[in-house]
Chain A
Amino acid sequence: MEFSQQLPALQVIVPMLMAPLIVLLQPRGLAWAAAASTAGASFAIAIALTMQVIEADSVGYQMGGWPAPYGIELSIDAFSALVLLVVTGAAILALLAGRQSVDSQIELERQPLFYSAWMLALAGLAGIVVTADAFNIFVFMEISSLASYVIIAGGPDRRALPSVFKYLIMGTIGATFYLIGVGLIYMMTGTLNLADMADRIGDVGDTRPVLVAAGFITIGLALKAAVFPLHVWLPNAYTHAPHVITVFLAACATKVALYVLIRFDYYIFQPNLQDHSNQFALLLMPMAVLGILVASAVAIFEGHIKRLLGASSVAQIGYIVLGASCITAAGVSAGIVHMFNHALAKGGLFLAIACLATRCTDLRVDQLHGVAARMPWTCAAFVVCGLSLIGVPGTAGFISKWMLLGAVLEFGAWGWVLVAVIVLSSLMAVAYVWRLVEALYFSSDTGDEAVARQEAPMQLLLVTWFVAALNIYFGFQPGLPVTLAERASSLLLGYGQ
């Protein structure tokens, strides 16, 4: 086999093998360098895989040469490639940006362990995406979750511990639900390979265990993905995590759970279970709409900048689910594109917050007045990413809003209700983003004395601006995410036909 054919396996194996090695790298800075180069290699693999996927529709890999359904199969198509780009891209950018931030938040001797856990989280998230085996997904989900608990709690903020405990309980329930569902399906079909499962489940599609399994799997994954109202673990976990970890997790952790949710529902259930579309229309879509409205409203009144953006994440997850539950080509592609664009916008915002945190100890909104005078570049990047979050034209966020609005308009009268929801929540996004902008740019004291510039470290600032620039770039040239998303949606909707 050629090297390029080994890439799907390497996507997981590289960070997983590097994780224990990093523990041994005690000298200052070495652990960071090793983690950053590992993430860089992962990102390069993801790009290579994306290029392979663009040429051939999907890339498969048989672990140990055992053919499916006996061996474990890895499979990558346009959808997985997009999510892999997000996961590995978030990892490399957060690591590149985060060196000084981690130095200031985590003691030197614990850093190798911290970076090692981070690599395990990366391996787990990448594993979930590449594997084509239902049980494997569970295993990788546990790897990524356990590692995430460690890195969230790894910071100096002791309030992270109760937040992580909540996350742990909720995450475990989610994973267990998923496992129960997979177990029931295994009982009825005797297979764990997704392709094989999709073939066989049609014969037992109307049996009660399979229907129950569909419920368990959907709810379990919705919990992991923080779909409203199963989101309560998310804002606190984001708030108290080390700042760069917030960047990484906000950009990709929930997206991976959404990936599995969408993949499972469209691949396994939708073509084989009678009336399964009700689950989208009557369960996921109402949850998404409620999430969009309630979480946006909550964000307006949040007092802490990170928790505010966490609440906004719950609303944005609602957009993705709303798009995905349309069961139309336009809707599903809009949802998937928003996975990419939201990662860009929210990742950029949390990077800017990491910049702020290097100079401000208190990140409550009312303590940030007039920071822009000291940190003009940081705050300008924050505004750019904030505009993308709102969905102002010329930014990446606009592309997904445009596609989403176009998709819901296909529904006629009902579509207009959804248009109203999207528009209303965009206005709420204007309100909460602008509240932050005003806090950053206007100081309560009207003193005229010139304030000394105190920018964030150059490395952190450069990465932040790189992401801000990407938000603009993908607002004018959204070819890559849109192409991948459209291919993904035609794949997902084409199953079983």
Chain B
Amino acid sequence: MSYEQTILAALIVPLIGAAGIVAAGRINDNLRETVTLITAGTLAWVVWSLLPDLMAGARPALHLTTVMPGLDIAFKIEPLGMMFAALASGLWIINSIYSIGYMRGNNEKNQTRFYTCFALALAAAMGVAFSANLFTLFLFYEILTLSTYPLVSHKGDAATIKSARVYLGILLGTSIGLFLPAIIWTYVAAGHGDFTPGGILEGVVTAPALGLLLGLFVFGIGKAAVMPVHRWLPAAMVAPTPVSALLHAVAVVKAGVFAITKIIVYIFGVDYLFGSDGTGWLLYVAAFTIITASVVALRQQNIKRLLAYSTIAQLSYVVMAAAILKPLAEVGAAIHIVAHAFGKITLFFAAGAIYVASKKTEVSQLAGIGRRMPWTMGAFTIGALSMIGVPPTAGFVSKWYILAGAFQAENLVAVFTIIASTALNAAYFLPIVYLAWFAREPEGAPEHGEAPTAAVLALTMTAILTLAFFLFNGPVIELETQVVRGVTP
């Protein structure tokens, strides 16, 4: 396949899959799940086939159509987008296996709609990953919001609708209210919105307006959940757990931090932003989000809400790393997208598995559960260690790079934030681990065993990935180092 065909295939395969899921859903559940798995496998194969060429320095591109002069729908793959697409498409396979176990184990309604919207969301995530300009990014960003709305409101009861309204309100509100004006401002000022190495705003938008534009982008991209636009993420936890796992730990939230990183690197330009006044606040806002969200997580009793606040903190790691504006930190930001994905999806899988097996949702109910569900809690432990950043887990690698970048910039605020949040992470994850393995189960607790095999299989795979990334991260780092080529150390 030529590059154009491959890019087109990455966008179309999930759409065909969605149509296939609808058709198969009328016939038979097993057939429908087969279609989902085949689609996920094909998509991953298509996306991953581009990886070797990307490593060798190729930049495949596809120009789809010109909506208006200067307003193109176009795609161009660069290392950041490649990594995001490879991550989302690869984890979709594992997540689909998990979904089968979870959705059947729970006897959920409307499963066809669930799998269909999931495929649509993945198509939108591919569009976000490969977008060559701000307009294309925005288009798929909004499709991602809309296609995940039915997933969040899946349950359909009054409380769910209320949360789904928060979800949609904040994501659409920030994107239309702040992100769109920022995009139009960029197009008017620079004449285009193409992602260009080194940025396009140098000399076009200057301080103090530059800081304002940065603010419009950062808070307009609500998916990155930088405080105070983070509230949609805990609200989204009403969704079934596979949605929380893949979309609200990987595809949707990572689309947010990915977009911010991409805009800082390719629209603002790292060096230009570093040399300008009025943009330093971003680091402080991100640091504040990390600390505050961690403190809030400390107080959560519901497992999924705790994980949601942990996600908010971890997302701001990426934003803070990008805002350090040094090469090592930018690489750290990119790697953290991967490292956090592996760890957090494992944690969500484990939370869902606990719910399917025992209907437990609160931290306090987990006493002694490790003996009943050793695989699940083993994976949970690995995920938790990765969140804290303990070797040998994925979280350690990215933290190392971010810290190195912080020292490169001699930025003590960032160093202090990382240290403090590591302590906080340990403070809210380790008690759960302790409770699960070492506390005694209360008398007369209901009997239950492990979660369905499909779910256990999936969470074991992601736990192994979390460990493996510690050892085999070379290609990712090599790829992402290409992003910061030419940036002043």
A residues apposed to B, CB below 8 Å: 387, 390-394, 399, 401-403, 405-406, 409-410, 419, 423-424, 426-427, 430-431, 434, 438, 442, 446, 448, 475-478, 482
A448, B110: Cα distance in complex, Å: 11
Q: List 15 A-B contacts (CB under 8 A).
A: A390-B172, A390-B176, A393-B138, A401-B180, A405-B181, A405-B184, A406-B188, A419-B181, A423-B177, A427-B176, A430-B172, A434-B168, A442-B153, A442-B161, A446-B156
Asked whether any CB of chain A lies closer than 8 Å to the CB of B477, the reply is no
Known: A393-B142, A406-B187, A423-B180. 10 other contacts (CB 8 A): A392-B146, A399-B67, A406-B188, A409-B188, A427-B173, A427-B177, A430-B168, A430-B169, A446-B157, A478-B68
* Residue of B143, B146, B180 with most chain A CB atoms under a 10 A cut-off: B180
Asked whether any CB of chain A lies closer than 8 Å to the CB of B437, the reply is no
Closest 7 A-B residue pairs measured CB to CB? Answer: A393-B139, A405-B184, A423-B177, A426-B176, A409-B188, A430-B172, A442-B161
Contact partner of B184 (CB less than 8 A), chosen from A406, A448, A475, A478, is A406
Asked whether any CB of chain A lies closer than 8 Å to the CB of B65, the reply is yes
- Minimum CB–CB distance for A272 against chain B, Å: 32
Decide: A394 near B143, CB < 8 A? Known: A423-B177, A430-B176, A476-B67: yes
Instruction: Please determine whether B165 and A423 come into contact, CB atoms closer than 8 angstroms.
Output: no
Instruction: Please determine whether B188 and A391 come into contact, CB atoms closer than 8 angstroms.
Output: no
Question: Which residues between 173 and 206 of chain B lie within 8 Å of chain A, taking CB atoms?
Answer: 173, 176-177, 180-181, 184-185, 187-188
A450, B410: Cα distance in complex, Å: 64
Instruction: Please determine whether B180 and A405 come into contact, CB atoms closer than 8 angstroms.
Output: yes
Q: List residues of chain B with CB within 8 A of the CB of A402.
A: 68, 71, 184
* Residue of B138, B143, B187, B188 with most chain A CB atoms under a 10 A cut-off: B188
Instruction: Please determine whether A393 and B165 come into contact, CB atoms closer than 8 angstroms.
Output: no
A478, B169: Cα distance in complex, Å: 28
A231, B181: Cα distance in complex, Å: 30
- Minimum CB–CB distance for A290 against chain B, Å: 20
Question: Which residues between 135 and 164 of chain B lie within 8 Å of chain A, taking CB atoms?
Answer: 135, 138-139, 142-143, 146, 153, 156-157, 161
Question: Which residues between 461 and 478 of chain B lie within 8 Å of chain A, taking CB atoms?
Answer: none
Decide: A423 near B176, CB < 8 A? Known: A392-B142, A393-B138, A438-B165: yes
* Chain B interface bracket (under 10, 10 to 19, 20 to 34, 35 or more): 20 to 34
Question: Which residues between 101 and 151 of chain B lie within 8 Å of chain A, taking CB atoms?
Answer: 109, 135, 138-139, 142-143, 146
Chain A interface main SS type: helix
Asked whether any CB of chain A lies closer than 8 Å to the CB of B323, the reply is no
Q: List residues of chain B with CB within 8 A of the CB of A423.
A: 176-177, 180-181
* Residue of A387, A410, A426, A448 with most chain B CB atoms under a 10 A cut-off: A426
A430, B161: Cα distance in complex, Å: 16
Asked whether any CB of chain A lies closer than 8 Å to the CB of B253, the reply is no
Decide: A477 near B65, CB < 8 A? Known: A438-B161, A438-B165: yes
Contact partner of A394 (CB less than 8 A), chosen from B142, B153, B187, is B142
Q: List residues of chain B with CB within 8 A of the CB of A403.
A: 68
Q: List residues of chain A with CB within 8 A of the CB of B176.
A: 390-391, 423, 426-427, 430
Output the nearest chain B residue to A482 by Cβ-Cβ distance: B68
Asked whether any CB of chain A lies closer than 8 Å to the CB of B397, the reply is no
Instruction: Please determine whether B173 and A430 come into contact, CB atoms closer than 8 angstroms.
Output: yes
Q: List residues of chain A with CB within 8 A of the CB of B180.
A: 401, 405, 423
Q: List residues of chain B with CB within 8 A of the CB of A477.
A: 65, 67
Output the nearest chain A residue to B164 by Cβ-Cβ distance: A438
- Minimum CB–CB distance for B304 against chain A, Å: 22
Asked whether any CB of chain A lies closer than 8 Å to the CB of B73, the reply is yes
A419, B109: Cα distance in complex, Å: 43
A394, B123: Cα distance in complex, Å: 15
Q: List residues of chain B with CB within 8 A of the CB of A434.
A: 165, 168-169
Instruction: Please determine whether B67 and A478 come into contact, CB atoms closer than 8 angstroms.
Output: yes
Q: List residues of chain B with CB within 8 A of the CB of A410.
A: 188
- Minimum CB–CB distance for A213 against chain B, Å: 38
A399, B184: Cα distance in complex, Å: 12
Instruction: Please determine whether B156 and A409 come into contact, CB atoms closer than 8 angstroms.
Output: no
- Minimum CB–CB distance for B439 against chain A, Å: 37
- Minimum CB–CB distance for A114 against chain B, Å: 39
Q: List residues of chain B with CB within 8 A of the CB of A405.
A: 180-181, 184
- Minimum CB–CB distance for A89 against chain B, Å: 21
Q: List residues of chain A with CB within 8 A of the CB of B177.
A: 423-424, 426-427
A177, B242: Cα distance in complex, Å: 64
- Minimum CB–CB distance for B422 against chain A, Å: 39
A182, B288: Cα distance in complex, Å: 65
- Minimum CB–CB distance for B143 against chain A, Å: 7
Q: List residues of chain A with CB within 8 A of the CB of B142.
A: 392-394
Instruction: Please determine whether B139 and A394 come into contact, CB atoms closer than 8 angstroms.
Output: yes
A430, B169: Cα distance in complex, Å: 8
Output the nearest chain B residue to A422 by Cβ-Cβ distance: B181
A431, B176: Cα distance in complex, Å: 12
Q: List residues of chain B with CB within 8 A of the CB of A476.
A: 65, 67, 73
